[in-house]
Amino acid sequence: MKNLIQFLFVLVLIIMSLILKAQNNQYPALVTFTQQQDQENMMQQLGIKTLRPGPSGNESAPNHANYDESLANPCPKLPDLLTTKSGEKVSTPEMWWKKRRPEIVEDIEREIYGRLPENIPQVNWKVEITDYEFIGWTPVVAKKITGYVDNSAYPLIDVKIEMMLVVPLNVKGPVPVLMMFGRPSFPSPAQPSEENMNTINKVFKDLLVKENPELKGVFEKYPAYQPLKRDNPFMFGQPRSGDPSPTEQLLAAGWAYVTIDPNSIQADNGAGLTRGIIGLVNKGQPRKPDDWGALRAWAWGAARALDYLETDKLVDSKKVGIEGVSRYGKAALVTLALEPRFAVGLIGSSGKGGATLHRRVFGEAVESLSGGEYYWMAGNYMKYGAEESSFGRKTGCDLGVDSHQLIALCAPRLTFISYGIPEQGDAKWLDQKGSYMAAIAAGPAFKLLVVSDLGVSNDYMKEEMPPVNSGLLDGELAWRQHDGGHTDAPNFKYFIPWASKFLKYKKAPTR
């Protein structure tokens, strides 16, 4: 009998092993590449033999980036914003929406950021933790929310989108929301009551004494001592200088905010392209040339977070903005341009791949993105950094689309482009002027859709940037360069009232 049971047990294990093996054989093997291997794979697909190296940010290096304005515009004529591919002049909003805008979206997705695949799985959102907190003097509810992406078609990859929603409770809702790319965390976790803290300390002391009996005498000598102390949310210490944090400013103005983790959507490296949402859709296989890159994937994830916000009665899902700085500034602009439900964007220090013109040769170059940061973009973008290939040599001047058209895709929605100054760390590498030129050139699309642009001429080659700290904030397209560094924080005190005015939102305290 014992031998029979052992035999049956072994048999069950063998059968289970065969079942698991059969299940695994249903799915393509998960490809694991280094970043270099992934890049070489894409180069082979495109027929590229060599890529030009990107310039160095070190101005004393032999291959330093160009910072000479006389050399910055090798092909100053931009692709025409309001002329269709068939040569028709776009003169009405209807022509923009039905003809020209779809053409620009097609070019931008195919050549720069990649297309959304048709078979992206659903995301199921779950509120994991709800915490009632105080941030300064503002009562808030903070929700830790996870988006579980359906991986039933390829169970070898899990994708869980992490975000935090923080809503003020001292205003009448629903309230507008600013979604920010970053790392979610509870801003000010609620503390146990004094009574509960006493219970925790008693148990903690008992455990310490059990671990080290000598501590019993110490605690008897200092009976009032409590090892664990309750933080007081109203004790602020020394008065702070400067502005409150951006999130405090948002809450004080009656806005909610969301922090969403882009790396929970798609890793910020080339080795991760067979993982994350891109890898899940591709079933663990390498990308094709027009597949989406990380920037487009992050934008898709933000749109899925907006899906959740449309179900939350505390917020106004028609008044949701998107914000980011640097690479996340690029992602915020891509989100606003290609995800039309977002109402407003704060685009911070986005540089090449964001608001700056691709064909400009100043600081960060096309070769920077086609080389080290190729994974942000579609594989096709690498063609414009090719030195030797089956199709010859190409540069940014060969792109049939540029960032002024990306900004134009945001129209007529609110678009605030923000930069700092090189002296404080917002490096010349970002080409602030190239972004200003793109914003100027995008203006005709805003005016066509009966909203205001920057309020200057649309001659991007002649218009000079306004002085630092004197922004252009009278229209739905806005520009402001602050005197700080690589951040958009100094512009929040201008962005919030600007956005609130155009969104027709006025904070209404609860009674």
- 230-254 confidence digits (pLDDT tens): 554 443 444 556 789 999 999 999 9
Which ranges in the chain are annotated with CATH 3.40.50.1820? 69-181+249-503
| Average per-residue pLDDT for the chain | 92
What letter does residue 98 receive in the DSSP assignment?
I
Residue 511 has pLDDT above 70, yes or no: no
**What's the pLDDT at 510?**
80
CA–CA gap between residue 434 and residue 431 (Å, rounded): 5
Residue 168 near residue 256 (C-beta atoms within 8 A): yes
**What's the pLDDT at 385?**
98
pLDDT digits (tens, 9 = 90+) for 257-268: 999 999 999 999
Claim: this prediction has a pTM higher than 0.85: yes
What letter does residue 428 receive in the DSSP assignment?
G
Describe the crossing of helices 327-338 and 294-309 by its angle, rounded to 10 degrees.
60
What would the two tokens of residue 298 be?
């992050």
What amino acid is encoded at 192 in this protein? P
pLDDT digits (tens, 9 = 90+) for 192-216: 656 666 777 777 767 777 878 877 7
**What's the pLDDT at 209?**
75
pLDDT digits (tens, 9 = 90+) for 281-295: 999 999 999 999 999
What amino acid is encoded at 104 in this protein? I
Entry field: residues in the chain: 511
- Residue of 281, 248, 244 whose CA lies nearest to 266: 281
Is the peptide bond preceding residue 174 cis, with omega within 30 degrees of 0? Answer: yes
pLDDT digits (tens, 9 = 90+) for 133-145: 999 889 999 999 9
pLDDT digits (tens, 9 = 90+) for 309-343: 999 999 999 999 999 999 999 999 999 999 999 99
Residues 197, 202, 203, 205, CA torsion sign: positive
Bridge partners for 352 per DSSP: 356
pLDDT band at residue 13 under the 50/70/90 scheme: low
List, in sequence order, the alpha helices (H) in 346-417: 366-370, 403-408
DSSP 461-501: TTPPPPPTT--B-SSSEEEEE-SSSS-SGGGHHHHHHHHHH
User: How many CB atoms are closer than 10 A to CB 508?
Assistant: 11
CA atoms within 13 A on the CB side of 361: 18
What would the two tokens of residue 359 be?
């064909």
Residue 154 has pLDDT above 80, yes or no: yes
pLDDT band at residue 226 under the 50/70/90 scheme: confident
CATH classification code of 69-181+249-503: 3.40.50.1820
**What's the pLDDT at 79?**
97
CA–CA gap between residue 31 and residue 284 (Å, rounded): 6
